[in-house]
Structure 1
Amino acid sequence: MWHLLRRRIWTESLGYAGTEVIRRIIGFAHLTDLTTLAEPLPAFRRALLLGRELILRREELAYVAAVRELVASLG
């Protein structure tokens, strides 16, 4: 039972993280780290793709290593 609860918390956390990334890009609370870049558009695009993938693939991203691989694949 605890395993299922931990798994659900993990997947919900990934989905929430994805929505927060997207919100920080397209909302009013922009990420100052990205807006201070010389060319922020590639970073914005990468962040939006990451947010989308975290939401859509949260069930299959079962480990931290899988999330790291996802981030590496977007860059």
Structure 2
Amino acid sequence: MKTDDDKKDTHNLARQGRRKFLRVLGASTVGVAAAGSLAGAVIPDQATPEAKAADKSSDRYRESDHVKAFYATLRD
């Protein structure tokens, strides 16, 4: 039969187990966050020289007729 001391020991062991679980959970969360933030620093995005020399006229903003009409309404 279990005594009061045995019950207290069991209760303390359960508490310690929960605390250890929470500590491990917190540490792993911090570790994953640190690894995720370092991933971008370790492997930087490098553009190839060909990408910079590409035709930039296609990337530029174009004023189409409907945009010009809208701008005209703003000036009035």
Q: Check whether TM > 0.5.
A: no
Name the TM tier (shorter chain): 0.3 to 0.5
TM-score normalized with structure 2 length: 0.33
Higher relative contact order (Cα pairs below 8 Å, separated by 6+ residues) = 1
TM-score normalized with structure 1 length: 0.33
